[in-house]
Structure 1
Amino acid sequence: MTPVTNRADIPLIPMPRLLHADGSIAVLAAIGCIGEGAAAAVCDASGRLMRLIRRDLEACAGLRWRAGRGDVGECAIRLDVDAAMATQSYRLDVGRRADGSASVVIVGGDADGLRYGVQTFRQLVRHSGPAVPVVHIEDAPVLPVRGYYLDVTRGRMPTLASLKALVDTLELHKYNQLQLYVEHTFRFDGLGQAWRGTGALDADDILELDEYCAKAGIELVPSVSTFGHQYMALRTDRYAGLGEFPEQAGRPFSLIERMEHHTLNPLMDESLALAKRLIDQYAPLFRSRRFNICADETFDLGKGRSAAQAGAVGVGTLYAGYLTELCSYLEERGLQPMMWADIAVGHPQALERLRDKAVLLNWQYEPDVDESRTALVASTGAAQYVCPAVHCWNALLPRIDTAWDNISRMAAYGAAHRAEGILVTDWGDYGHVNDPVMSLPGLCYGAQCGWNGGGGCGQTAVDRAIDRLEYGVEGGFVDALRRASACTTFGWDDAVRYLELDMHAYDHADHRPVLNGDVAAFCDVCVGSGPAGRVADAADVRQARGRLLAAFAARIGDAGARDAELMSVRGRLGRLLGGMRGDRVRFGGSAMLAIEGVAAMNWAGWHLLCMHGIGCAEVRGVRVPSAEEAACRLEEWAEAMADAWRESSRESELRHVTDVAWALADEVRRSQVPA
C-alpha cells in the first residue's frame, strides 16, 4: 500500500496505510439512512456498528439518522462485507451523491475489518462534523493482535465504568485485545488477607467487562501472576511459607520491596497447587481461550529455599520445570498459555524448553531498544508478542518521547520478525499515582505503531492527530505534556526511594529510623555509585538519604528554573483549555493538576537537598517557598489528587499514595530552611 503524502491533514489514529484525498469535502445530510447489506448484517447481528455511527452523527454533527437493512441501495451510508478481501482489512469511500450530499461506503473483509472501517469513519465525523473529507482508504493491520495491558494491582483499581470507557477508546483506535494485570486484586477464595482493602475485582465485574469487550471486538485475556510477583499472597498467614524467603513475610509494607521479593518456591508442591487454584477460579469467567501466567521477574528464584537445587541444576532448569508443568495444566483445559519472556531469554535452557509451550510476551522498555531479543525469540520458532510501554509509571506526567521511541521501535521489530502481535503495557509501579488519562498519548502511539508495524508517518504527525482528535485542539497539548514532564526535578520515584530508606517510612508513630538495606541496595542499582559513595554502605538512614540526593543534586537543585518553565506551560495549557469542550475538559484539568503536583514535588526535593547540606543552585526569577509553604502545597495537591482518583478509580490502595505525600510533607517541614 502506498500512502498519500497529505494524510496528516486528516487526523486518524492509526493513520491508514493507503489514503487518497483531493482536499474537498462532502456534507452529510441532516436526515439519512445507515444501511447494512446482507453480509454486514450477519457480522453485525445486533446492529451495534450502525448504532455507533448514529450516536456519533448526533453527538458530533447534530444529525439524526436512522438504521436499516434489506434494500440499502438508497442509504447514504452503507456497510458491507467482501470475503475476497483480507482478514481485518477494510475499504472506506466518501464521495458525493447526485444531490451533492455525502455518500459513504464501508466494506470489510470480515467482521473485524468492517468494525475497523466504522472506527475510521467515526474518527472523521468526530473531527470534521458533517463536513467530512472526500477520501478513498484501503487499510489493514501489519500486526494481527494489538493489545493493551493495564496494571490494576499496584495501587489503582479503576471503576467498572472507567474500564468500559477504556474499552471504548481501545475500540475506536482498533485494538483487539485487553489484559488486566492481577496479582492479588481479584477476590480469590482463600486470599482475603491479600485482597482486602484493594477494591478487588469480583466475578460479576469480570463477566460484565468480558461481555462489554466482546461486543467491542476486543478479547479480554485473563492475566494472573503465578510464580513471581506474589508479594501480598506471601504476606498472608496461609501462604507465607511458600516463598523463597518466608522469614521476610512480616517486614513492613514497602512499595519498592513489593517489586523485589515475591517469588514462590517451586520445590514446594503447595506453590504449584496455589497457582492452579488461581487459574481454576479465574479462567472460567472469560470467553478467551488464552491465559497469561506472567512468570516474570522471579528475582528471588534460586537465592532462598531453592538455592541448593538451583546450584545443582541451574536456575533456568528450575524455572522451566515449574512452568512446563503449569503450561501443561492449561493445555489440558483447552487454554493457550502466555507468559512474559524476560527470564526465558536470559536462560537458554529455559527458552529451549518453553519456546513451544507458550506465547512469549517479549517486553523491553528502553527508548533505544535494539532488536536482538526479538530476533532471538523469533529464531527459536516461538510465538511472540512485542511488548513496549506507555511510560507513565512512577511519574505524574507521561514521558512522551520515551514512549514513542520505545513503542515505534518495538512495533517495527515485531513486524520484521513476524510477531503475532503487540501488547502495549501500562504499569503502575509505586502506587499508580498518575491519572489514567496520562496514558492516552502512549495508547495512541501503540495504536499507530501496532497497526502500521512501526512509526510510519512519524511522531510529529501522530502528536498533531492526537491533539485534534482526542483533545479537540489544533495543536500544542501533547507538546505541553512533553515540556511539563521534562521539568520534573524530584519525581515520585525519587520520593519513594528517599522515604523507604527508612524501614518505618510510613509509620506515623514515633520510631527510631532503621536503614532498609534492601532498599539501599536497590537505590545503588538505580543510581550507581554517587559522588558521596554507595547508599548501601551508609551508616544510617540520614547518611543514606544524603547519598541518594547527592547522586541527583544538579537535577534536584534546578527546581527554580524548572518552576519558571512550568508556569509557562500552565499558561499554554490554560489557553488550550479555554477551547476544549465537553468531556475533553477533563484532560486539561488532569494535566493542570499533574503540573501542580510536579511543582510541589520539585520544591519538596529542593528543601531536602538543602536540609542535607548538599547545597542548591541560586534561584532567580521565581519566589522560593518556605519549607512550611512547600509542605502545605504538597498536602493541598495530594488532597486534590485523591479527589480526582475517586472519580475514576475505586479507593483501592490510595492510602499508600497519600502516605508517601504525608511522609514527604513531614520530612520537608523538618528541614525548616529559611526561604
Structure 2
Amino acid sequence: MKPPRLLLAPYPRHVRNTGGALPLARVREIVAPPPESAEMRRIATLTREALGPSVARSAIRFDGASRRPRLTARPSTADAVCLLVLDPKASRSDQGYRLDIAPRGIVLTAPSAAGLFYGIQTLSQLVRLNHRRLPGISIRDEPDFPTRGVMLDISRDKVPTMQTLYHIVDWLASLKINQLQLYTEHTFAYRRHRTVWKDASPMTPAEIRDIDKYCRDRFIELVPNQNCFGHMERWLRHARYRPLAEVDGPWRDPWGRVRETPSTLNPRDPRSFRLVSALLDELLPNFTSRRVNVGCDETFELGQGRSRTAVSRRGRVAVYLDFVRKIHRHVSRLGRRMQMWADIVQSDACHISRIPDDVIALEWGYEADHDFESRCNNLSARGLEYYVCPGTSSWCSFGGRTRNAMANLQRAARAGLEHSATGYLITDWGDGGHRQYWSASVVPITYGAAVAWNERANRGLDAGRAASTFGFDDPSGLLGRLWYELGNVYLLTGVSMKNRTQLYKVIETDLDPLIELHDDAPQPRGAEEAIAVLHELARLSQESCSVRAGNCEAQVALIELQATIKVMLHAAERWLFSCSGDLEAAARRRALHCLGDGMNFIMQTHETLWRIRNRPGGMRDSLARYRRIADEYLEFLKRGGVAGRPAR
C-alpha cells in the first residue's frame, strides 16, 4: 500500500520513502562544512533550530572529513549525526539539494549555501509534521524558476510595521521565495519631498537597510520598486508637482470613466525625468540588490494632455518608450539592471524590439484566462529576460477569489516554463484602500510559491491545508480551509468581473444607483444570489467558532477571518436591501439602522486590526471609504429611506 503523500509546501521534485525512522533526540551533533564562515554558522544554527527543542543542545562542528552515516533502514540505538555537505555535483541547479534521513542520521547535500538553506526548510516542515520521530526518506529537489518572488503593495494606504515585515520575510523564506519587492509610489521618506509622504508613515532609509540585511540572511533579494511614470497620483495631487502631470484637468480612463486627479508624468517635460532620476539616486543606495523595478505601467492618460501632439505624430508607445529609455540609461549609470512592467509595450508588440536588451520585462495578468502563453512568446521571441507575474486576487474582494487565483497562478507557471521565463513574481495589490487583511493572501501565496518551485509536483497541492499548517500555524487545517472557502464565496453571486467581486462593487456603489437598478425590474435581480451568499457566510462564521487558535498568528488570522466575514455579510445585506423596493417605510428604516450600526462596527474593527500589522499612516484614507457608506445610510434615513427623493 502506497503511503500517503506528505504535506510539504513546496512539495519536492522527487520523494522516496526508504523505511525506518529517526528519533530526533538521538541527533547529538551537527557537522557543517568548513571554513567556519558567518554564513555557514547561520546555516548550522538554522539546522539545529529546524530539528526542534530535542536537538537544541546538540554540538555544532565544522569538519570536511567527517564520514557519512550509513543510511540504511535498519534500526540503530547509536547517537545520530546531521551532516551538511557542500558538493557542486549535488544538483543541476545551484539552489537544489538532496536530503536523506535514516535511523543513523541525516545528510543534507547541496551545491551552495542557498541549496542547504532550502533543504533546511523542507527538513523543518518534516519536523513540524512528525515532531520527535522523522520517517526514513530520500528527497531530490530543485526549482523550476531560478527567481521566485513576491511583491507587496505598501503604497495603497497600508505600510506594514517592521515586525510584520520580519514575520513575512521569515514565512516567505520557508516557502523558498528568494525575491521580495515592496511596491512604492510615495511611501519612502525622500529627504526633499516630505509633502508627499508626511501622512503615510513611510519606510525610512535605515529601515530599508535593516530589512535588506534581514532578507539577505534568508537568501532573499530585496529589490527596490519605485514607480517612475504612471501611478503618480500621490505626487501630482500636490501643487508643487502638478505642473509635471500629463493632464491638467479631467481625463478619461480606458474603461470610459472620467477622472479628476492626474496619475501620469508628462514625459516631454525635462523636469519629470529630473524628479525620477533624483528619486532613484536617493533610493537605490539603501539596497544591496543590483536590480530595480521602475514600474512604468498603466500610463493611462498619456497622449490626452501635454504630450498629445507628440503622440499623434509618433504614436503612444513610441513616446512612452522614449521616457523609459531615459530611465534605463540612468539606472545603468547607477550600476543597476532595470525591471519594468510589460503591459504598455505588449499593447503594440512591434515596439518590443525597442526595449533595451538587458531590461527584465514583467508580464502581469491577474485573471484565470489571462493569455500568458502568447504574451510570453512575444517576449521570448525578442530574446528578453522576463518574469511571469500572476496575482493573489485578494484586492477589491475582501475575502479573495480563490478559484481565479489558483488558476491564474498555475497558468502563469506553465506558460513561463514553456517559454523560458527566468522568474515568477506573485503580486499582492491593495487597490481600494487595502481593505483586505493579510490573511486573505496567505492561501494564494502558499500555492504560488509552490508552483513557482515546481509546477508539476505542486499543481494539486492542498493549498488551504498547507497555508493552515505553515502560514497560520494551525495544524488542524481548519483555518486555512475556511480562508480557502471564503475566497470562493464570490462564485455564488453569479457575477463575473475582472479584478474585483460583486460584493466589493456593491460596497463601492452608491445606494441610489443600486436601488434604481432594481426598481423597474419585474423581479429584483440579485436577491436570490444575495440570500445564497448570506447562507454560505453564516455557515463559515459558525465553523470559524470551532478554530482553536493556539498562537498569536493563528489568533490574528482568525480575527481577520471573522472580520472579513462581517464585511462580506454587510455587502450581501446591502445588496439585498437594494433589491427590496417593496419594503414598507418602517421596515426600510429598520434595515437602514441595522446597516448603519453594522458599518460602524466594521470601522471600529478595521481600525483595531489595522494597528496590529500596520503603521498608522494611510488608515484614515482607508477608513474614509467606509465612513462614506455610514454617512450614506444616515442621509437615506433623513430622506425616509427613499432613494433619490427628499424625506416627506
Decide whether the 8 Å contact of 2:142 with 2:453 is kept in 1: yes
Q: Provide the residue aligned with 2:248 in structure 1.
A: 246
Letter aligned with residue 312 of structure 1 = R
CA distance in 2, matches of 1:492, 1:282: 39
User: 1:607 aligned to 548, 568, 577, which one?
Assistant: 577
After TM superposition, the structure 1 = structure 2 runs for residues 279-294 of structure 1, keeping only pairs within 5 Å, are 279-294=280-295
Q: CA deviation at 1:346?
A: 0.9
Amino acid at match of 1:461: D
Please list the CA deviations of residues 279-312 of structure 1 after superposition, one character each: whole Å capped at 9, or x if unmatched.
1010111001111110000001111111111000
Amino acid at match of 1:13: A
CA distance in 2 between partners of 1:361 and 1:351 (Å): 13
User: 1: CA distance between counterparts of 2:193 and 2:524?
Assistant: 43
What's the CA shift string for 1:258-279, capped at 9, x where partnerless? 9984111111000111110111
Q: 1:427 aligns with which of 426, 429, 439?
A: 429
User: C-alpha offsets along residues 425-455 of structure 1, whole Å, 9 cap, x if unaligned?
Assistant: 0000011111112211111111111111x35
8 Å contact kept, 2:349–2:378: no
- Measure the CA separation in 2 of the matches of 1:401 and 1:544: 27
Match of 1:138 in 2: 140
Return closer, same or farther for 1:64/1:30 CA change in 2, 3 Å cut-off.
Answer: farther
Match status 1:482 vs 2:484: yes
Partner of 2:445: 443
Counterpart of 1:659?
A: 624
Q: Which residue of 2 aligns with 1:16?
A: 12
Report 1:564-579 matches (<5 A). Answer: 564-575=535-546, 577-578=547-548
Distance 2:528 2:478 in 1: 28
Which amino acid in the other structure matches residue 504 of structure 2? D
Equivalent in the alignment of 1:348 = 349
Gap change, CA 1:545 and 1:198, over 3 Å in 2: farther
Do the aligned partners of residues 23 and 436 (structure 1) sit closer, same or farther apart at CA in structure 2, a change above 3 Å counting?
farther
User: Cα gap change, 1:405/1:234 in structure 2, threshold over 3 Å: closer, same or farther?
Assistant: same
Give the secondary structure class of the aligned counterpart of 2:545: helix
Q: Distance in 2 between matches of 1:487 and 1:84?
A: 48
- Separation of aligned partners in 2, 1:49 and 1:459: 31
**Does residue 560 of the first structure (1) align with residue 538 of the second (2)?**
no
Q: Which moved more, 1:140-149 or 1:389-398?
A: 389-398
Match of 1:323 in 2: 324
Contact 1:319 1:350 in 2 (8 A): no
2:32 corresponds in structure 1 to: 36
Matched, 1:82 2:93: no
Root-mean-square deviation (Å): 3.0
1:385 corresponds to: 387
State the alpha-carbon separation in 1 of the partners of residues 519 and 441 from structure 2.
29
Residue aligning to 1:96: 103
Mapped contact 2:360–2:386 kept (Cα < 8 A) = yes
| Aligned partner of 2:559 among 586, 589, 592 | 589
Moved more, 596-605 or 123-132: 596-605
Q: Give me the whole-angstrom Cα distance separating, in 2, the residues matched to 1:58 and 1:259.
A: 57
1:137 counterpart SS class:
strand
Alignment of 1:480-519 (within 5 A): 480-487=482-489, 493-495=504-506, 497-499=508-510
Q: Hey, what's the Cα distance between the residues in 2 that align with 1:263 and 1:291? A: 20
Give the letter for the 1:335 counterpart: R
Partner residue in 1 for 2:200: 198
Kindly provide the CA deviation profile for residues 20-77 of structure 1, in whole angstroms up to 9, marking residues without a partner as x: 02565432116622221226x45x6352222223334446x68543433237557621
| CA distance in 2: counterparts of 1:466 and 1:303, whole angstroms | 45
Matches within 5 A, 1:333-344: 333-344=334-345
Aligned to 1:51: 45
Q: Distance in 2 between matches of 1:437 and 1:25?
A: 35
Instruction: State how far apart, in whole Å, the 1-side matches of 2:443 and 2:424 are.
Output: 16
Equivalent residue, structure 1, for 2:408? 406
Contact 1:473 1:579 (8 Å CA) reproduced = no
> CA distance change for structure 1 residues 31 and 22 in 2, over 3 Å: closer, same or farther?
closer
**2:289 is aligned with what amino acid?**
S
User: Whole-Å Cα distance in 2 between the matches of residues 550 and 177 of structure 1?
Assistant: 53
CA contact (8 A) 2:443 2:463 kept: no
Q: Percent identity?
A: 28
2:642 is the counterpart of 1:640: no
Q: Which moved more, 1:170-179 or 1:459-468?
A: 459-468
Aligned counterparts of 1:300 and 1:469: Cα–Cα separation in 2: 43
Q: SS at the partner of 2:233? A: coil
Contact in 1 for aligned 2:27/2:81 (Cα 8 Å): no
SS of corresponding position for 1:228: coil
Greater shift, 197-206 or 19-28, is seen at 19-28
Is the contact made by 1:231 and 1:262 (CA closer than 8 Å) also made in structure 2?
yes
**C-alpha separation between the residues in 2 aligned to 1:247 and 1:457?**
50
TM-score for both structures, normalised by structure 1? 0.83
Conservation of the 8 A alpha-carbon contact between 2:303 and 2:312:
yes
Change (3 A) 1:457 1:422: closer
**In 2, Cα distance between the equivalents of 1:549 and 1:580?**
49
Against the structure 1 CA distance between its residues 67 and 380, is the aligned structure 2 distance closer, same or farther, given a 3 Å change threshold?
same
Deviation of residue 470 (structure 1)?
3.4
Q: Distance in 1 between matches of 2:635 and 2:488?
A: 28
Query: Match of 2:613, as an amino acid?
Result: S
Q: State the 1:483 CA deviation.
A: 2.9
Q: 2 CA distance for matches of 1:287 and 1:342? A: 28
**Cα displacement (A) at 1:467:** 3.4
**Distance in 1 separating the partners of 2:164 and 2:260:** 26
Quote the offset at 1:17 in angstroms: 0.4
113-122 vs 77-86, greater mean Cα deviation: 77-86
Q: Which amino acid aligns with 1:564?
A: H
Equivalent-residue separation in structure 1 for 2:568 and 2:457 (angstroms): 33
| Distance of 1:405 and 1:234 partners within structure 2 | 37
- Letter paired with 2:296: A
Cα offset for 1:188?
Answer: 1.5
Change beyond 3 A, Cα 1:291–1:553: farther
Q: Which residue of 1 aligns with 2:58?
A: 65
Matched to 2:44, the amino acid is: M
- Gap regions ≥5 residues in structure 2: 68-78, 252-256, 494-500, 642-648
Say whether the 8 Å CA contact 2:236–2:262 is kept in structure 1.
no
Amino acid at match of 2:41: G
Distance 1:31 1:625, change over 3 A: farther
Asked if the contact 1:327–1:357 (Cα under 8 Å) also holds between the matched residues in 2, the reply is no
Q: Who is 2:211 aligned against? A: 209
Q: Which amino acid aligns with 1:88?
A: Q
Alpha carbons of structure 1 residues 124 and 549: separation in structure 2 relative to 1, 3 Å: farther
CA distance in 2, matches of 1:5, 1:257: 61
| Residues 1:544 and 1:400: Cα distance change in structure 2 (over 3 Å) | closer
What is the rounded CA distance, in whole Å, between the counterparts of 2:172 and 2:548 in structure 1?
Answer: 27
Do the aligned partners of 1:556 and 1:602 also contact (CA within 8 Å) in 2?
Answer: no
CA distance in 2, matches of 1:395, 1:625: 27
1:440-479 matches, cutoff 5 A: 440-452=442-454, 454=455, 456-471=457-472, 472-479=474-481
Give me the whole-angstrom Cα distance separating, in 1, the residues matched to 2:162 and 2:526.
40
CA separation of 1:45/1:357 partners in 2, compared to 1, >3 Å: closer, same or farther? Answer: closer
CA distance in 1, matches of 2:440, 2:223: 24
Q: C-alpha displacement at 1:652, in angstroms?
A: 2.0
Question: Which residue of structure 2 lines up, in the alignment, with residue 374 of structure 1?
Answer: 376
| TM-score, normalised with respect to structure 2 | 0.87
Instruction: Tell me the SS of whatever aligns to 1:135.
Output: strand
Looking at structure 1, the residues matched to 487 and 466 of structure 2 have their Cα atoms a distance apart, in angstroms, of 20
